[in-house]
Amino acid sequence: MLKASNIHKKYNHLSILKGIDLQINTKEVVCITGPSGAGKTTLLQILGTLDAPDQGKVIIDGININQLKGKKLAHFRNNKLGFIFQFHQLLPEFTAIENVIIPALLGGRGKSQSLDKAKKTLDYLGLSHRLNHKPSELSGGEQQRVAVARAMINDPAIIFADEPSGNLDSKNSNELHQLFFELKESHNQTIVIVTHNQELANMADRKLEMKDGILLPEITIKPLTQTIDTEQE
């Protein structure tokens, strides 16, 4: 689903990413962890087309996104990618369902079709009774589920999440984490998450660790099996 090759990025001559190679498969939940300043969010922004690398190539769903510019890139981002941020980024003047349909309308989908899809998605997320509530009338967990619905509205190839549970209490964090894996199974969704939450990271199909602008080698941990010999007579 996604392949990144030799990704480099500098800001003011400071190297943030130093040659990242990464492959993510369809229907895979991948968590990227590491200390603050390791380059996790910068990598996520480049993978999500919100920033461009100084060097390297990113291919998503068979498309080389380095070759997309302007309206073509915006169209690809809107139709192929979904985003979930730590602080929801919901528009305060709009209701839950209005926030959810915005990407669909921007993508040229009809209002009636978009409203129907948004209602079904919010119902799936347990928010059918909150369609017409504004963000200020929703709990933190409800706001984040609205953000998840917004990310899902255009049936994206990949959802990118940047510290999605960082602003939630433990109960809502656990519910959000479980939701990601439900989406993987029910919607064949591919999800890439940047997180400091080790509990979430350990639940993922793969946990990748960044340090000083590079990805550390993956370590596959196999279940420990222990054979107990029967007592010999």
**Per-residue pLDDT tens for 183-232?**
888 888 999 999 888 888 888 899 999 999 898 887 554 443 443 444 44
Q: Residue 4: is its pLDDT beyond 90?
A: yes
DSSP H or E segment with residue 42: helix 40-47
Q: How far is CA 103 from the centre of its chain?
A: 16
Pairwise CA distance, residues 63 & 9, whole Å:
21
CATH number where 192 lies: 3.40.50.300
**Per-residue pLDDT tens for 16-39?**
999 999 999 999 999 999 888 888
The whole domain housing 129 covers 27-52+67-215
Calculate what percentage of the chain has a pLDDT beyond 90: 50
Q: Is residue 87 part of a domain?
A: yes
Please tell me the total count of domains within the chain: 1
Q: Is residue 61 part of a domain?
A: no
Amino acid at 28: E
Pairwise CA distance, residues 59 & 102, whole Å:
26
Residue 57: what are its φ and ψ, rounded to 5°? -140, 140
Q: Residue 41: is its pLDDT beyond 70?
A: yes
pLDDT of residue 91: 93
Q: Is residue 20 part of a domain?
A: no
What residues form DSSP beta bridges with 55?
A: 8
DSSP H or E segment with residue 214: strand 214-215
Pairwise CA distance, residues 155 & 180, whole Å:
14
pLDDT of residue 191: 92
Pairwise CA distance, residues 87 & 165, whole Å:
9
Residue 186: what are its φ and ψ, rounded to 5°? -80, -30
**Per-residue pLDDT tens for 124-162?**
889 999 999 999 999 988 998 999 999 999 989 999 999
Q: Is residue 178 part of a domain?
A: yes
pLDDT of residue 116: 93
Confirm if 180 and 30 have CB atoms less than 8 A apart.
Answer: no
pLDDT of residue 230: 43
Q: Is residue 40 part of a domain?
A: yes
pLDDT of residue 221: 44
Q: Chain-wide mean pLDDT for the chain?
A: 87
Q: Is residue 12 part of a domain?
A: no
pLDDT of residue 220: 52
Q: Is residue 124 part of a domain?
A: yes
- Tokens found for residue 128: 């059918």
Q: Is residue 157 part of a domain?
A: yes
| Predicted model pTM | 0.84
Coil vs helix vs strand at 120: helix
Confirm if 84 and 144 have CB atoms less than 8 A apart.
Answer: yes
Confirm if 161 and 87 have CB atoms less than 8 A apart.
Answer: no
Q: Residue 105: is its pLDDT beyond 70?
A: yes
pLDDT tier at 175, thresholds 50, 70, 90: confident
Instruction: Over range 63-77, report the average pLDDT.
Output: 90
